[in-house]
Structure 1
Amino acid sequence: MTTSIQLVDIIQSLGIILTLMVAIWQMSVQTRHVRAASELALLVKFDDLTKLWIDNPGLWSQLDTTYIEGQSENSLEILENIMFMVFNTFELVFRHHKKYRLVENDAWIDWINNIQSYREKPYFDGWWMHNAHQYSNDFQSYVNSLPATSSHPQ
């Protein structure tokens, strides 16, 4: 009788181990799917922002000018809105990468390059000085830590 009980215990133990292995595998697959879905959503959002630049030709070149707070021209209002949307997206990506670990390191490098392309524009300095307070402290610190590699004066 003890032999059959031991055999049943062994089979039950193997069943539990197999169930745990399947659960771990399913969690791994689910994590990959969540990462992929998050990254896709971020890319779609950034694609929408890129379309705003395309729909408003000439605005990108205004980033090569200096920021003057309170300018009321329609194009500058659009530029302000685009900058807020762009940096809100960057902050969201930053949070997904640093806090939730949903953005892979190689994808994060691409996002850093995107942030840097804005950081290098003369308009960014004044805009960031007046608007950085609207972003989280850790995101502000991160953006401020990026090298200013442009030729415009700081």
Structure 2
Amino acid sequence: MSPDDYDRLYAESHDRPAFSNGDEGYGWMAANCDRCIHDKPARQGNDAQGCPLVLLTLMGRTPAQFVDGPRDENGLYGIADQYVCTEFRGEDDPDPEPRPLPTPPGQGELLPREPFEGHRMLTPLTPADHATAAPGGEAL
């Protein structure tokens, strides 16, 4: 991922703010972006070479690379865990490039994996989306 990817990233992002306010956004970025190799140039004073995902969030959009993080039983989350960035690569990682899991030896493939690999953003279901059925089959 490079700053040159901004147009593509903008097109696949969601038109809604990633964070509800600046404190939430900067808190998440301090816990994640401040350790990521993609935003290291910006931390060294070269903002133009920084992570384009940070720019998207500052523009009021949610990148497709931000997947919802863990929630407790009440749906609450910590600011640092609100999202998991699929592009995150730690500065101290010996090999920061993502590597897909290799196909196990002897495993057949019906379809090539490449077109199906990518970013997915799950959305929560609402009761209006799906009718819930009782064990006897009647709707609740």
Q: Same fold (TM over 0.5)?
A: no
Which TM-score applies when normalising by structure 1? 0.19
Larger proportion of strand: 2
Larger proportion of helix: 1
Which TM-score applies when normalising by structure 2? 0.20
Query: Which structure has the larger Rg?
Result: 1
